[in-house]
Amino acid sequence: MTFAFTLPTTSPVNFTTSFASSSAPSLPSATTTRRALLRDTLKRYKRLTTAEQYNNLPSLLSSISEYLPYLYTVDAYITSQDIAPLAEFETEWRAVLSRRTVSTELPRIRRKGLDYEICFATATLAYVHALRARSFLATAIQAPPPTDSNATNTSVHLINQAKDQILTAASIFLYLQNRSTTRERGGSQPAPADTTTSIYNALWSLCMASATLLAVLKDDPYPSIVALQHDKNSREWMYKAPTVPTKVRSLLLARLCMYSADMAGRAAAGVAATPGSGAELKSYCDDMAKTAKAKACRFLGVDAEAQGKVGEAIGWVSAGKEVLGMVVGGDGDKGKLGRGLDILKKAREEKKMEKVPMEALLGPDAGRLEEAMVLNELERRWRKINDSVNFHTVPSTSSLLTTLPTGRPMFPENQIWTPPKLSSSELLQLQTQSPNGGELDWAGADDSGDDIIAQPESSMPPGGFPRSQSTGYY
């Protein structure tokens, strides 16, 4: 339920050749050192296997959190004219959201101006928070079946941590969106897609959609992960269904899902409107919008079935399948029920998602296949009941889709991240140190090997919902 961002790498930069400060002489040198440490951490991260990358996220978060206060202090000193420019500042980052120029590697783009450095470094912090959200969610999904309230609370706590991480990422993207509309960037070359206002707005919308779905996940009576956590030949979970929510609660969950669908749709439109943006992010946003809307249909179907309206319940799950693109041509119900799901499974197999360890098994479709499996099983069960007992008329999907409720936000949309600055004691130390200040000379660090990537035990496609082959339940 969170996009699997690729973290960028960057070339060495020496702030002392571009900036000098009389009030804090060692600030450029200290900033150079912290940036070099971050650069080295990013390079090491890229060479790790998938499982090792998850374990390395706290270290990476620490490195970037140490660098950003220095970077933003330099920016503030330039604004207040406490730093004098010596030469034009240039920096180079790998654009991870831009369209690939070749099939094997993302482009590396050099631009002038400190704002370019700030945008990439700060966005990297948001990417790390999003990846940590995926890590927490994966841990919650892998947990064994809860045997008591403590086990259940542990899983809920992990999902809450994932939600908090993705909300932090959303606040960072909102800050970058606001900053990009008020700051002029140096140089005459166009900005890469990664640093445009439209892409920041899209990423903020996507994070809000993800956070809302994570909140729904805690209360979802038919979690889509069940379909793959249980034995693929077993349908026992469908006959021992979780407690059905009340009508009011079902409507609330449906409205939250519709909000998520709306935000994901906005994100997809924003990515599509950004020149030079990659296709993977756009595809993921589209999949999340479909998944969230299909979930809303499922909640309304579950509520209808609880009220004895089996025909309407079948109509809602059929509408959800139609939203997911599952309803395809065929002879009778068999074609509609089976072939659409087979198409989604085949698409997953083509992306080499089968037999992948849990640490790397993060689907690229925002849980679309899992939701399709749940809808398919619910429809099978309810049609069997309706055909043998109730004989209710099934309304058309088109008539039901027009009655979907409006979306309802769950989290504030104006939470903006505050850039960190050095403390008074840290500034005082920089003011009393010599320009080198005993810092190591990282500016001339070797730039070779940035593109060397260790062969992981499996690929990690972007985005989606973790899957497990265990029988665990979050």
Is residue 466 predicted with pLDDT exceeding 50?
no
More confident residue, 182 or 382: 382
pLDDT tens-digit series, residues 263-302: 999 999 999 999 888 889 999 999 999 999 999 999 999 9
- Average pLDDT estimate for 19-23: 88
More confident residue, 220 or 31: 31
pLDDT tens-digit series, residues 423-447: 999 988 888 776 665 454 444 455 5
390 falls in which pLDDT band (50, 70, 90)?
Answer: confident
pLDDT tens-digit series, residues 8-19: 999 999 999 999
Whether 121 contacts 68, CB under 8 Å: yes
> Is residue 6 a part of any domain in this protein?
no
> Is residue 83 a part of any domain in this protein?
yes
Is residue 149 predicted with pLDDT exceeding 90?
no
pLDDT tens-digit series, residues 39-83: 999 999 999 988 888 889 999 999 999 999 999 999 999 988 888
Pick from 313, 369, 305: which is nearest to 342 by CA?
369
Whether 209 contacts 264, CB under 8 Å: yes
Segments in 230-275 forming alpha helices (H):
236-239, 247-272
> Is residue 80 a part of any domain in this protein?
yes
**Cα 343 vs. chain centroid, distance in angstroms?**
25
CATH number of the domain that 161 lies in?
1.25.40.280
CA 364, 367, 368: angle at the middle one, nearest 5?
90
Q: What are phi and psi of 419, to 5 degrees?
A: -60, 140
Is residue 154 predicted with pLDDT exceeding 90?
no
More confident residue, 162 or 145: 162
Beta-carbon count within 10 A of 402 CB: 8
Treating both helix axes as pointing N-terminal to C-terminal, what angle do 197-219 and 279-306 enclose, rounded to 10 degrees? 30
Q: Which range is least confidently modeled, 48-57, 59-68, 249-258, 462-471?
A: 462-471
Q: What pLDDT sits at residue 283?
A: 93
Counting residues of the chain whose pLDDT is more than 70, the rounded percentage is 73
Is residue 233 predicted with pLDDT exceeding 60?
no
Mean pLDDT over all residues of the chain? 81
> Is residue 232 a part of any domain in this protein?
yes
Q: What pLDDT sits at residue 106?
A: 74
pLDDT tens-digit series, residues 81-113: 888 889 999 999 999 998 876 656 677 899 999
472 falls in which pLDDT band (50, 70, 90)?
Answer: very low
206 falls in which pLDDT band (50, 70, 90)?
Answer: very high
> Is residue 440 a part of any domain in this protein?
no
pLDDT tens-digit series, residues 342-364: 666 656 555 544 434 433 345 67
| Number of domains, the chain | 1
Domain extent for 195:
15-100+107-432
Is residue 145 predicted with pLDDT exceeding 70?
no
List, as one string, the DSSP characters of 67-130: HHHHHHHHHHHHHTT-EEE-S--EEEEE-SSBPPSSSS-PPEEEEESHHHHHHHHHHHHHHHHH
Residue type, 431: Q
Q: What pLDDT sits at residue 99?
A: 81
- Average pLDDT estimate for 379-396: 88
Is residue 192 predicted with pLDDT exceeding 80?
yes
> Is residue 320 a part of any domain in this protein?
yes
Q: What pLDDT sits at residue 107?
A: 76
Q: What pLDDT sits at residue 150?
A: 58
Q: What pLDDT sits at residue 217?
A: 87
> Is residue 472 a part of any domain in this protein?
no
> Is residue 443 a part of any domain in this protein?
no
Q: What are phi and psi of 423, to 5 degrees?
A: -75, 170
Q: What pLDDT sits at residue 454?
A: 47
